[in-house]
């Protein structure tokens, strides 16, 4: 067993209804799963984070073009920030082939400057010591009248997240099931919102849960921007995910992907992607413009691929 797996703790995720049986037993229907507890500290700043946070920052900047405030909802928020010189990040060193290759580049494309401004905000000395998670990037970019709703279940990460945002009166930080937030917090009061869904995919059922979660959110808030991150470990899982999303009947679904290696049936993530529902009108062209540069910088050996395509157009 790897150190990564040794780091996991067990947690319960409860989302159930109790039915009384004739034998005086109880049956829980819905989601009642023993799940391994993912720690993003091992992977902070890797190539998948670079892609995810590039897309995240571009969406936020597009939403800010209108004066009306909006809600940022993060269903799997993590710790908020990560120490790259810490035990977890140094053990894997994944950030060295991710954000470290983009950090302080003189030829940085315009599409990456807002994202990298959030990284720079955590590293004012110029040395890359910390990496911002999606909550910190949102906090850095959102305006004073925008709102953040952050959810995290992990017993170690939640206190870190809560402390990170304890003085931010725009933020609501809760230790709850993120998928439930798609029911209870939507639609937002101002009818504008960006929902980031970023589970660990430790269980195969995660691939079905994200689709159900999007359906629940969409039927309550069809005009929101939804961004779903996914890892490519087995390509067949992503093909099924895409088919399941197509079957929902939801339109305007854009898929963005960055692969660092060819697809493989061997263990390990070869690529990652973002599936965006109701993307801002500029996002498609922005990602088509910046992905070739990102691929060249992150994968100097040239393996893998980039992709921007519509799963479901208008």
Would you say residue 133 has pLDDT above 80? yes
Instruction: Return d(Cα 310, Cα 279) in angstroms, integer.
Output: 11
Exactly one of 49, 74, 177, 198 is catalytic; name it.
198
Instruction: Give the model confidence (pLDDT) of 187-203 as tens digits.
Output: 999 999 999 999 989 88
pLDDT score, position 286: 98
Q: What is the chain's mean pLDDT, rounded? A: 87
- Two tokens at 193? 């919102």
More confident site: 205 or 101? 101
pLDDT at residue number 40 = 54
Please give the average per-residue pLDDT across 62-77, as a whole number: 97
Q: How far is 311 from 251, CA to CA, in rounded Å?
A: 8
Q: Please indicate whether residue 119 or residue 29 has the higher confidence score (pLDDT).
A: 119
Give the pLDDT of residue 144.
97
Structural contact between residues 100 and 128, judged by C-beta atoms closer than 8 angstroms: yes
Q: Is 279 helix (H, G, I), strand (E, B) or coil?
A: coil
Determine the pLDDT at residue 226: 98
Using alpha carbons, select from 254, 196, 251, 193 the residue that is nearest to residue 220: 193
Residue 93, classified by CB atoms within 10 Å of its CB into exposed (0-12), middle (13-18) or buried (19+), is middle
Residue 206 designated active-site:
no
Lowest mean pLDDT among 5-14, 152-161, 240-249, 294-303: 5-14
Question: In the structure, what pLDDT confidence band is assigned to residue 86 with cuts at 50, 70 and 90?
Answer: low
Q: How far apart are CA 36 and CA 202, in angstroms?
A: 7
- Cβ neighbours, 10 Å, residue 285: 11
Question: For a pLDDT cut of 90, what percent of the chain falls above it?
Answer: 79
pLDDT at 266: 82
Percent of the chain predicted with pLDDT > 70? 84
């Amino acid at each position: 067993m790897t150190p990564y797996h040794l780091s996991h703790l067990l947690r319960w995720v409860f989302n159930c209804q109790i039915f009384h049986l004739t034998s005086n037993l109880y049956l829980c229907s819905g989601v009642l799963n023993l799940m391994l507890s993912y720690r993003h500290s091992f992977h902070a700043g890797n190539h998948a984070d670079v892609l995810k946070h590039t897309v995240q920052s571009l969406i936020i900047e597009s939403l800010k073009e209108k004066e009306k405030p909006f809600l940022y909802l993060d269903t799997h928020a993590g710790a908020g920030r990560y120490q790259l010189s810490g035990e977890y990040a140094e053990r894997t060193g994944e950030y060295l082939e991710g954000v470290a290759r983009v950090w302080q580049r003189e030829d940085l494309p315009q599409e990456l400057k807002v994202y990298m401004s959030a990284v720079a905000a955590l590293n004012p000395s110029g040395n890359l010591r910390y990496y911002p998670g999606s909550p910190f990037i949102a906090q850095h970019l959102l305006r004073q009248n925008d709102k953040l709703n952050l959810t995290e279940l992990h017993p170690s990460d939640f206190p870190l997240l809560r402390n990170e945002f304890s003085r931010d009166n725009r933020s609501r930080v809760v230790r709850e099931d993120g998928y439930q937030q798609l029911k209870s917090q939507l639609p937002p009061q101002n009818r504008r919102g960006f929902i980031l869904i970023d589970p660990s995919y430790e269980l195969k059922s995660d691939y079905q849960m994200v689709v159900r979660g999007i359906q629940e959110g969409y039927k309550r808030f069809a005009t929101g921007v939804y961004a779903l991150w996914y890892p490519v470990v087995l390509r067949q899982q992503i093909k099924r995910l895409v088919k399941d999303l197509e079957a929902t009947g939801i339109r305007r679904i854009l898929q963005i992907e960055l692969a660092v290696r060819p697809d493989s049936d061997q263990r390990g993530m070869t690529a990652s992607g973002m599936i965006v529902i109701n993307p801002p009108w500029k996002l498609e062209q922005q990602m088509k413009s910046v992905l070739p540069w990102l691929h060249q910088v992150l994968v100097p050996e040239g393996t893998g691929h980039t992709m921007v395509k519509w799963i479901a157009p208008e």
